[in-house]
Amino acid sequence: MVLVTSGSPSKTLAWRTAQALNAEYLDTEVKMFPDGELYIRFLSEVSGEDIVVVQSLGHKPNQYLIELFLMLDALKDLKVRRVVVVTPYFAYARQDERFKPGEAISLQTIARLIEIAGADHIFTIDSHRHRVIDVAKLTKIPLVDVSAMGELAKHVTRTYDLRNPAVIGPDAEAEAWAKIAAETINADYDALEKKRFDAETVEVRPRKLDVKERDVLIVDDIISTGNTIIKAIEVLKQHGARDIYVGCAHPLLVKNALIRIYQAGAQYVVGTDTVSSPIGLVSVAPVIKEAIRKIL
Ligand code: R5P
């Protein structure tokens, strides 16, 4: 039997994933003691089963990581058959190399700790780790990244009628996501780039596409402060774009990011349910199901 569970951050997504997989939802009791220590208990029998742990690491990464370690070690102890970990939002992924001497390479540390705690397989969704040469080498167990960009693009085009759409990544690293989204809805894609004309003139502009009079869908992995998207909206408006739609996998939306993006001129902003947010209308459960189906 396959059981899908979660600690405190992803119970709804774990439920949706269980439904998508036609599996059982396994509830947990999670408590924090007055001194800040955590307590976790699985509320049904797990021994001998395949367990999928859906645990997103947004908003309170340190707390959710400890919950994850407690769950994984307990599952090993309780003699389950196999543990598949899904971290829809994989925190610490942006610190994926030693930028300054002496720094911890946080992505590597967290991936290794999840493996040591008892995972047999790790899935992430649109994880930010562009500088890591070979992600597969971070752990001895399979670590696979899958994308929700296709689901986001489908949602936007089902909700709005985009005229001659172009999909744009706000920086070079986001071009891969723009490609997935664009191919899903059969549109052109590009990324913004900084072009230096002389020592004093730098312009941010689409690398190859002319966005004039076109509706644009901007896609990115994370919206944190919103500054990256706001800058992209400004640039695209300067280049004559018509309506601008925004899709992101992980809407962390720090402080007033969402309202600032609307004030900058976005027509519509949508995210997935990897982290809780007011715009998480696109569930990643189908994406998780497709990824897990291949190994369970
Ligand atoms: C950066 O490379 C990422 O892909 C995102 O563009 C970035 O994390 C977004 O952060 P913010 O919303 O604070 O600009």
Q: What is the pLDDT of residue 135?
A: 75
Average pLDDT estimate for 123-141: 83
Average pLDDT estimate for 130-135: 69
- Structural tokens at position 177: 């996501």
Radius of gyration of the chain (CA): 20
List all residues whose CB is within 6 A of at least one atom of ligand 1.
Answer: 128, 170-171, 173-174, 220-228
Pocket test for ligand 1, best of 222, 233, 246, 255 (most atoms within 8 A of CB): 222
Q: What is the pLDDT of residue 17?
A: 98
CATH 1.10.1040.10 fits 2-147+283-292, yes or no: no
Pocket test for ligand 1, best of 221, 248, 256 (most atoms within 8 A of CB): 221
**Rounded Cα–Cα distance for residues 117 and 32 (Å):** 20
The sign of the CA dihedral 8, 4, 90, 189 is negative
**What is the CB neighbour count within 10 angstroms for residue 48?**
10
Question: What is the position in ligand 1's atom list of the atom closest to the CA of 170?
Answer: 6
**Rounded Cα–Cα distance for residues 153 and 296 (Å):** 28
User: Which residues are paired to 222 by β-bridges?
Assistant: 250
Lowest average pLDDT, out of 13-22, 82-91, 194-203, goes to 194-203
pLDDT digits (tens, 9 = 90+) for 217-232: 999 999 999 999 999 9
- Structural tokens at position 160: 């709005």
- Does 194 participate in catalysis according to the annotation? yes
Within 8 A by CB and 6+ apart from 241, the residues are: 166, 211, 212, 214, 215, 216
CATH of 149-273, one of 3.30.450.20, 3.40.50.2020, 3.40.50.2000, 3.30.70.100: 3.40.50.2020
The sign of the CA dihedral 268, 272, 273, 277 is negative
What is the residue with the minimal CA distance to atom 7 of ligand 1? 222
pLDDT range class, residue 196, cuts 50, 70, 90: low
Average pLDDT estimate for 191-208: 79
Question: What is the position in ligand 1's atom list of the atom closest to the CA of 257?
Answer: 12
Average pLDDT estimate for 283-292: 97
CA distances from residue 157 to 165, 181, 210, 233, 278 in whole angstroms, order as listed: 9, 11, 20, 19, 20
Please state, for a pLDDT cut of 70, what percent of the chain lies above it: 96
Q: What is the mean pLDDT of the chain?
A: 94
Is the pLDDT confidence value at 132 over 80? Answer: no
User: Which residues are paired to 24 by β-bridges?
Assistant: 3
The sign of the CA dihedral 42, 25, 122, 57 is negative
Q: Which ranges in the chain are annotated with CATH 3.40.50.2020?
A: 2-147+283-292, 149-273
Average pLDDT estimate for 11-20: 98
The single residue of 194, 195, 208, 212 carrying the catalytic annotation is 194
Within 8 A by CB and 6+ apart from 246, the residues are: 217, 218, 219, 220, 223, 229, 233, 261, 266, 268, 269, 270
Is the pLDDT confidence value at 194 over 90? Answer: no
- Structural tokens at position 141: 């167990």
**What is the CB neighbour count within 10 angstroms for residue 88?**
30
Q: What is the pLDDT of residue 47?
A: 97
Q: What is the pLDDT of residue 202?
A: 67
Q: What is the pLDDT of residue 287?
A: 97
Q: What is the pLDDT of residue 204?
A: 81
Cβ pair 152, 270 in contact under 8 A: yes
Within 8 A by CB and 6+ apart from 22, the residues are: none
Distance 128 CA to ligand 1 centre (A): 9
